[in-house]
Amino acid sequence: MPANIIVPELGESIVDARVAKWLKKEGDRVAAGDPLVELETDKIDVEVGAPQAGVLAKIERREGADVKIGEVLGVVDAVGATSAPAAGHVGAGFSQPEPAAPSTPSARKLARQHQVELGSVAGSGDGGRVTRGDVESTMTAGADRREERVRMSRRRLTIARRLVEAQHTAAMLTTFNEVDMSGVMQLRERRKKAFKERYGVNIGIASFFVKACVGALRDFPRLNAEIQGDEMVLKRYYDIGVAVGAPEGLVVPVLRNAERLSFPEVELVIRDYAKKASDGTLTLEDLRGGTFTVTNGGVFGSLLSTPILNPPQAGILGLHKIEERPIALAGQVAVRPMMYIALSYDHRIVDGAEAVRFLVRIKELVEDPAALLLEV
């Protein structure tokens, strides 16, 4: 009997998707659960599997089509599905299957755009999984003057829409300060070896700022709030979003209940999120919600920038490059590792004085790591 391939539930607030690529062709034999089609959503890519063993009898929605939850993508016919052909075997009337080596959705997409044969790419991911980085390493840049017209992905379109929305709907303002990172740098230097041996991860600066944010948000709760209608919703929990780079653009996975996480736990979760972002394996749950965001342009060399709010959040903290600069200290000139920090906030519910004091509190906590440990 035929079985429809249905657009599945895609997660919180996602109601539609785009057909990115069919992984099988009409007439291909499939086993139950075999990935058939890749869907691109605003947040992640989703593979839809075969509802039963059989033959992909019909493709209803072609690549590039926009689809909604519950719509029929195609049909799998169980007729003649007593056994599926072995991997690598091509039967009469059936097309060559995909390469045996698994690859991430972002790797497949990049390979299609640049005509890279995935079967020739060695995978560096878990279980030999081919990542976007593996594909990029096989590509060579030409010296010609070609132009390429590439349709924007749903994720890039969503990022563009939300960035414009943030500036149109919120009264966004930014305040700046600077932090002497000497205490943090010295602590990291003293503890880095023991920390790595005990927890299996390096101690970075992110954990210090995440924990400082928790402490400052407790003192200034309207920066951990959002506007709903004519009410402010003050969150008494601290789900801190940490912006990380991904092939399709910046994504913001969330550290749930950051107030309960230890320094090593913060570093471990951020490391895992960074790897998943690179591999294209972040889930909808990883990205859902968030009450406040931290973004670090310093990893790319940024000295100063104005971060844009992540709606409906009321605040975002921007970190920047640590750079040795001369400062006045106790009447003397001293060279210290300094970082500019920036807080963008929704002026509709956060007053300017409140935002300035929040940023000063961040500065105080980070400049005195011992006080930070006592605070949080």
Q: Are 342 and 174 in contact (CB under 8 A)?
A: yes
Pairing outcome for strands 2-6 and 172-180? unpaired
Q: Cα–Cα distance between 296 and 160 in angstroms, integer?
A: 19
- Beta-carbon contacts of 370 under 8 Å, excluding residues fewer than 6 positions away, are none
Burial environment of residue 125 by CB neighbours within 10 A (0 to 12, 13 to 18, 19 or more): buried
Q: How far apart are the first and last CA of the chain?
A: 60
Active-site residue, from 66, 126, 272, 351: 351
Strand partners, 252: none
Q: What is the DSSP letter of 227?
A: E
Please count the CA atoms within 13 angstroms of the CA of 258 that sit on its side-chain side: 32
Taking CB atoms within 8 Å and a gap of at least 24, the contacts of 331-335 are: none
Strand partners, 242: 294
Closest CA to 97 of 39, 14, 27: 27
Taking the C-alpha atoms of residue 132 and residue 137, their distance in angstroms, rounded to an integer, is: 9
- For the question of residue 347 being annotated catalytic, the response is yes
Told to judge if 168 belongs to the known catalytic residues of this protein, a careful annotator would answer: no
How many CA atoms, within 13 angstroms, populate the side-chain half-sphere of residue 373? 8
Strand residues in the chain grouped as ranges (E) = 2-6, 16-22, 29-30, 35-40, 45-49, 54-59, 66-68, 72-77, 172-180, 225-228, 231-234, 240-242, 254-255, 292-296, 315-319, 323-329, 332-346
Pairing of strands 315-319, 292-296: parallel
Q: Which amino acid is at 317?
A: L
Residue 288 structure tokens: 């859902």
Given 16, 77, 347, 368, the catalytic residue = 347
Residues labelled catalytic: 347, 351
